[in-house]
A = this chain, B = another copy of it.
Amino acid sequence: MSKIQSYITAHKSRFLNELIELLKIPSISADSAYKDDVLKTAKVIKDSLANAGCDHVEVCQTDGYPIVYGEKIINPNLPTVLVYGHYDVQPPDPLDLWDSPPFEPVIKTTELHPEGAIFARGACDDKGQMYMHVKALEYMTSNGELPCNLKFMIEGEEEVGSENLGHFVKANREKLKNDVILISDTGMIAKDVPSITTGLRGLSYVEVEVTGPNRDLHSGLYGGAVANPINVLTKMIASLHDKNNHITIPGFYDKVENLSDAERTEMAKAPFSLENYKKALDIDAVYGEEGYTTNERNSIRPTLDVNGIWGGYTGEGAKTVIASKAYAKISMRLVPNQDWEEVTDLFKTHFENIAPKGVRVKVTPHHGGQGYVTPIDSLGYKAAAKAYKQTFGKTPIPQRSGGSIPIVSLFEEELKSKTILMGFGLDSDAIHSPNEHFGIWNYFKGIETIPYFYKYFTEFKK
């Protein structure tokens, strides 16, 4: 048993309990009702970094939620790694679909997690994966095994667009100076198939409002004679995809990078079972853009999805009303080279253009971010690959993720350094969904693997 393994074994229950306590705080950044909880979480992170061995920790105020910064500088001549993570979580609703309360963590075993998994909102995304780094730091400092300088930047607005982090990074280039950025906020293909995320999709998130008559109307007296904002909204949204599920917004695909057949063939090698995929989601068929496989549709192709829609009477029973307004939240996942602000403008212009007479349309951009691709020949990637090889006994597979971490491309722009995405979650961990969980095995495997990354990265830099 390696030294780190014995350390983890010795402190297992404490490592679990500390994470469980952290998961009990409902740090929902999207809902201002939880403001105090989000602020409390920042304080907890600050203390945990200090206890784990940071020389200097601070809670940096922003126009939104604070950013927790911590550092352990052992020698200015050694490489510096900046660890990024977030302590905010997605809203937990729909609550009725959770088997246990989202902020009352419980450990249960599942088919994929026979060693048990912690069920709670944020268990995997990102409190669990972020806290692996805190515990890895504790191990390295308390055992004199820290090979390089470390900086931590843990934010509280990742789930709502990281807007203030952007300002913070621009204003603190010197303080955040580093040789490589390390993030654990992604997944791997399977427990026995380690993988490193080499690509992320960009994001444009907008809210639309369609207004018809100036008040709700009786559907009998006015039905058929005035534009019904809900009917109109459904027509407008439906028209955003053609029959092949291509997005119809003019210019939307202009900058989309098309992968070569060679690259697509390489991608197709990643282990994937369409049958298991459909079975896990209980669907009889997949659905998506004509001409692309499931793995391509959710990684190298841009998409447009309605994340929420509402209007009219949604209560119990029946109300014969024509609503004055109808709303939808719509997000577009973008691929590298698509500029999120440009796409947001394209959407806004198009959506306003297709509004029929009789209604008024308002498009409000929420937030967004650029896509990102990291080269697999960088020192950081090689160090990560060797670390996985060390603890998993297998060379990880490079993989494009469909998710977005908007801030990553900004890091490269402002800090001039590459980001390595070492994720230890699984697609089945239900992040953003009811019953989110994180495998205990994955949690400890992450803590075990991270120190090797620092070791090999420092060696490679020499």
Contact = CB atoms under 8 A, between A and B. Distances in A.
Q: Is the interface of A mostly helix, strand, loop or mixed?
A: loop
Given A219-B305, A281-B226, A358 B320 contact: no
A7 interface: no
B225 A286 contact: yes
Given A223-B402, A427-B221, A307 B316 contact: no
A140 interface: no
A11 to B, nearest CB: 31
Nearest to A310: B314
A343 to B, nearest CB: 14
A215 interface: yes
Query: How many copies of this kind of chain does the complex include?
Result: 2
A234 interface: yes
Contacts of A288: 224-226
A271 interface: no
A308 B297 contact: no
A220 B402 contact: yes
Contact of A329 (B235, B294, B306, B318): B318
Interface in A52-103: 90-91, 93-94, 97
Contacts of A205: 318, 320
A333 interface: yes
Interface of A: 29-32, 90-91, 93-94, 97, 159-161, 187, 201, 203, 205, 207, 212-228, 230-231, 233-235, 237-239, 241, 281-289, 294-295, 297-298, 301-303, 305-324, 326-329, 331, 333, 356-359, 366-367, 401-404, 427, 430-435
